[in-house]
Amino acid sequence: MLDGKVAIVTGGTRGIGLAVVRNFLNNGAKVALFGSKKESIEKALSILREENENFQVSGFYPDLTSEREIRDTLAKIAEEFGKIDILVNNAGLSSSTKIEDYTIEEYDKIANVNMKGVFVCSKEVVPYLKETHGNIINISSMVSIYGQPSGCVYPMSKFAVNGLTKSLSRELAPVGIRVNAVAPGITKTDMVASLPDEMIKPLIATIPIGRIGEPEDIANACLFLASDMASYITGEIMQVDGGARA
């Protein structure tokens, strides 16, 4: 579905991000994955190359909030692969801190990755996507639709991601760039997989389909939106949550 495409996936070393990278590679794309540090990048690349030595994949660990670092990294990717077609803004930090306990330092840490990082990466990739009529996919969350009972800065940041998605879809459509978001429900990441059954079972009871999502479920939604099959879709916040609602 992505033959000949070049994709960037931020937060691509584990969980949903790694599943997106793997899915894109298996569908013919060349992928540059971003991570927070050299060690996590090397581990992810090793895993992928053990699965298929022919995967065309590279890794980088720029500061997502630095225009200069992102600009320089995009130039390296375009030089290596020839172009850029797809950006998946997946990197993010969650939070469950109650508002009285928040520090400005924690607020800044979450806001920088979840909002500023998405903004900077999107801003810097636009010149490349204009050339390829490419697309941006932002990873949002089900809590961007109806909030959560604590950790308010996380849903706040994802509401912002939705706003950016909607606005950029209108701004960039005339130059041939689509912008969409995927809002996952409860998904079996490392954090969720480590929860005890007494916490997992009540969560499953809220999901009409009757199971927690797999990272591959989110990756499949990203694959569809990234592909030409979604060529008439932009500004969409696609909920992938098994039917769970507030």
C-alpha span between 118 and 103 (Å, rounded):
22
> What's the one-letter identity of residue 224?
F
C-alpha span between 101 and 203 (Å, rounded):
25
Give the residue among 142, 139, 122 at the shortest CA–CA distance from 130: 122
Q: Which candidate in 61, 107, 146, 154 is catalytic?
A: 154
* Strand order through the sheet with 57-60: 57-60, 30-34, 6-9, 86-89, 135-139, 178-184, 237-240
State the burial class of residue 50 (Cβ atoms within 10 Å of its Cβ: 0-12, 13-18, 19+): exposed
Q: Is 154 a catalytic residue?
A: yes
* Enzyme catalytic residues: 154
